[in-house]
A and B are shown apart, each in its own frame.
Chain A
Amino acid sequence: KQEVTQIPAALSVPEGENLVLNCSFTDSAIYNLQWFRQDPGKGLTSLLLIQSSQREQTSGRLNASLDKSSGRSTLYIAASQPGDSATYLCAVISGGYQKVTFGIGTKLQVIP
């Protein structure tokens, strides 16, 4: 059974800092991995999707990498801003394209 772990559970950084969020998974036979952000009381917003054949994806200040063999993905946020404060979730698609497993998330606070 696929298990997804996100470390750290919470992170507080001053504005402007670069930071890395981690996601690890136990079964490396994945089809794709997707990073989301969730604001309090809101739904999930898709940030980046990495296919199993890809090593990284970039969108603006965000860069996500994937190392299938070691079962890890990282989300790099450059020059953090207070508006980046949210919970970040990673989701892994495995066991067929329909099976989705989420991590519990990393709660990020960016202090002005």
Chain B
Amino acid sequence: EAQVTQNPRYLITVTGKKLTVTCSQNMNHEYMSWYRQDPGLGLRQIYYSMNVEVTDKGDVPEGYKVSRKEKRNFPLILESPSPNQTSLYFCASSLVRGWVNEQFFGPGTRLTVL
């Protein structure tokens, strides 16, 4: 089954404790991205990657890191999480044909930073 998977689905942690949220897709998509969703603010793009070893900042990259060492995986790293990073996080991968970017989303990771 074609899908985007994220782990963990739920995470409660404390300020400053490094964490990684994994994202994997089995559709051979070149483009992957991370979003956070907050009430009243909608989904905002954190980082995106157009291919292996190619990443770029979205609208809200502060406090996050990403890497793209393999085409299928795009982990999100919080080196020193803070309470303002409490949010619902989504990973997406995209089929890009010419200029058309059609996105497929993972199930989400609900992160709470105490």
Residues of A bordering B, CB below 8 Å: 31-32, 34, 36, 41-46, 49, 51-52, 89, 91, 93, 97-105
Contacts and interface: CB of A to CB of B under 8 A. Distances in A.
- Lowest 6 A-B CB distances belong to which pairs? A104-B42, A102-B43, A44-B105, A31-B99, A43-B107, A97-B101
A56 to B, nearest CB: 16
B60 interface: no
B14 to A, nearest CB: 24
Interface residues of B, number: 26
A97 B100 contact: yes
Interface in B34-49: 35, 40-45, 48
Interface of B: 31, 33, 35, 40-45, 48, 50, 56, 58, 90, 92, 96, 99-108
Chain A interface, >50% SS class: strand
B44 A98 contact: no
Nearest to B4: A43
B88 to A, nearest CB: 9
B90 A51 contact: no
